Structures are given as structure tokens and as C-alpha cells.
Amino acid sequence: MSSEKIAENARLLGGEDVDVSNNRVPPPEASVLKGPSRLKALQAVAHSVAFDEDQNIKTPKNNAFWNQEMGRIQYFICKILLVGMYLVFGSFRYLQYEYNAMKLRVWNVIYNPSNTPQLIRQDVTKLDKIPHRLAAILEMKSAGSVGGGAKGLMNDGSEVVCWTVSAGIKHLILYDFDGILKKNVLEFREEIRAKLSKYFGPSNVPKFALRIPHKNKVYFSNDDSDKVSLEISLLSNRDGRQTIVDLTKTMAELTKSKELKAEDITMRLMDKELTQLVGPEPDLLLYFGPSLDLQGFPPWHLRLTEFHWEQDNNQVAYSIFIRGLHKYSNCKINVGK
């Protein structure tokens, strides 16, 4: 049984495009800081005194033999103290947020690349090593805000593409939860081309290829497909858990029809299949949000990936990109040591 055939079957199975569940609960810090509002926070804290939203939260029932359960009055006092603590912590966190926002603004002025590939390359040549494959998690902001909507997302994506080309990295993985980039590939390709011609001049736009591993399709920037300087893979939530389950289904079907032996399902085979279905694992993952939120990035591929994000940052900025590369060049990789 060739590995290509398994991957092909899994793709066919996935072709029935199961609707990805949209009820993901993001990690609390990241989700709150995406649209920070002091008023909402205060309301929430005040609300938590008076009403127990979660009836199933139990008072610590630890070892009833020794510590008795918390009494009502004790529970009430604790609740009040908790709210006090929230207020102190919240105001501290607010100051920290403002400080970080200021710091990021200063960085953005200092690191401003102003659409010049030479400067980006200059920054990169100082580094000892750069990642072979870079991944970035992008997200769509609400359509009403500045740089929001699908258009804003594509703009962010093409910006990252330009930096990556200028830095000399050959592979880029762009991940967005809903797969908006995937759905609008052709538009996105035009957007990238326009951005690249701004950086490199319209006469010598670097060649690139857009890959959608899930559908096994490649879109080239020009008609001829030789010598692309950047390969971009577009991933979405679909490529995460669901793909692994699809692969399992395929393998189960093949085992049932005796085309595959159960002993042949090894880690190596899984890895090979998932590399075909999703792509190789990235070395560095950039996230342009306020607090690390992996958003369902394919789990198999996160194994040893370095993460980089800046606390309380909320925009796709060059400073995050270059600082991520800096950090990567300084980190030591040791498996199992």
C-alpha cells in the first residue's frame, strides 16, 4: 500500500467537508485582551460578587475528615476578598497593558521597514541562523474595525509574505481559523503580487506558489512553475484534529478491506501521511495576538516548534516578525536532553 494512496483516500474522505465546529472557547486571557474594555471587566467583577454563574463550582471539599467544607459565611467573606484581589490585580494588569502598548508603539517606530527589502535583509544577515520553515497565525478582526474583515486579513497575510521573502526564508505556513485565505486564494494571490511589486518594483516580482494541502492544489504566481522563491501553505482549523480523525478513518477502512496491516500503522507512517496531508512541521510559529492562543493549529506539527508572540500586542507588525527571528537564532535545540 503506497503512502500516497492513503493520503489520497483521506483527502477524498475529508472532501465531504465536515463543518468545523465553531464553538471553540479560546483561552481566557487571549480572548479578553483582543478587545479590552475596562468597563466590561469592572462589570464582570462586580457581577461575580452577587451571582454565582457557575452553580457547579464547589467549595473545596477536600478531605471532609479534616477540613470541613466551607461554611456560607466563610464562603461569602472569601468571595468579597476575591473581588478585592481581582480589583488589585486588574488595575495592575491595566497598567502593565498600557506600558506594553507604549513599548510596542516605540518598537514599531524603530523597526519600521518602510517597504524596503534591503533593510529587512540587513537585519537578517546579522543572525546566526534563520528558521527553515516559518508559520504565522493570522486572525480576522471584526469587519467594523480598522484593518478588519477579509480584506484586512489578506493585507496582513501579504505583508507577512513580503517580509518572509525579503528575509530569505523559503517556506511559509499561514494559518487562519476559518480558512478565509483558502477560500479566496485567487484574490489573495493578486493581493500578494501587488504587495510584492511595491517592495521589489513591478518588473521583478519574486515568484511564489500558494499551496492548499487539504485540497492538494497549487497556485503559481506565474504560468511557469520553475524556481519559486517562496512556497506558502494555507492551513485552517480543518487541518487540525479533523484531519487526524479522517486519516484514522481511512486507515480503519483499509485495514478492514485487508489492504493495510494493523502492524504497519507506525509513528513513521502517520508522520509521512500527515506531512502529505498538511505539510512539514514549522520551526518557528509567530502569533500576532496579545497572549498565546494556538487556535487549533495542527497538533501533530507543533511538536518542537518555537513560539513567539509579544504580550498585549494586537497587530501584525514587522517588529514582532524580526524579534521572533532574533529569538530563534539564539535558542538552543536539544531533543530529549
Q: Which residue number, 30 or 130, has a Cβ lying nearer to another protein? A: 30
Q: Is position 26 an interface residue for another protein (rule: CB under 8 A)?
A: yes
Member of 2, 19, 29, 140 binding another protein (CB under 8 A) = 29
Q: Which three cell numbers stand for residue 178?
A: 476559518
Dig out the grid coordinates for 301 from the structure: 506539527
CB-wise, 90 or 149, nearer to another protein?
90
Closer by beta carbon to another protein, 123 or else 159: 123
13 counts as binding another protein under rule CB under 8 A: yes
**Of 46-54, 186-194, 204-212, 219-227: span binding another protein (CB under 8 A):** 46-54
CB of 278 to another protein, least distance (A): 13
Interaction of residue 335 with another protein, rule CB under 8 A: yes
3-class state of residue 48 by DSSP? helix
- Asked if 267 interacts with another protein (CB under 8 A), we say yes
Q: Which residue in 302, 311, 314, 315 binds another protein (CB under 8 A)?
A: 302
CB-nearer residue toward another protein: 63 or 203: 63
Q: Which is nearer to another protein, 205 or 286 (CB)?
A: 286
144-173: which residues touch another protein (CB under 8 A)? none
Angle in degrees, 0-180, between the axes of helices 149-167 and 318-330, rounded to the nearest 10 = 40
Is 141 a binding residue for another protein by CB under 8 A? The answer is no
Number of residues that bind another protein (CB under 8 A): 96
Contact pattern from residue 179 through residue 218 relative to another protein, giving x for each residue in contact according to CB under 8 A and a dash for the rest:
----------------------------------------
Strands 217-220 and 208-212: antiparallel
Q: What is the DSSP string of 310-325?
A: -TT--S--HHHHHHHH
CB of 88 to another protein, least distance (A): 10
The span of 145-153, 166-174, 227-235, 305-313 binding another protein (CB under 8 A) equals 305-313
318 contacts 156 by C-beta, under 8 angstroms: no
Q: By CB under 8 A, is residue 120 in contact with another protein?
A: no
Q: 508522520: which residue's cell?
A: 271
Question: What would the grid cell of residue 305 be?
Answer: 516548534
The residues near 33 (Cβ < 8 Å, ≥ 6 apart) are 97, 289, 290, 291, 312, 314
Spatial CB neighbours of 304, under 8 Å, sequence gap ≥ 6: 281, 333, 335
Q: Which of residues 58-87 bind another protein (CB under 8 A)?
A: 58-63, 65-67, 70, 74-75, 78-79, 81-82, 85-86
Is residue 15 a contact point for another protein (CB under 8 A)? Answer: no
**Host H or E run for residue 65:** none
249 binds another protein (CB under 8 A): yes
Query: Which single residue is written with the C-alpha cell 512553475?
Result: 225
Rounded Cα distance between 111 and 91, Å, is 30
Half-sphere exposure for 136 (CA within 13 Å, toward CB): 28
- Tell me how crowded residue 195 is: count the other CB atoms within 10 A of its CB: 21
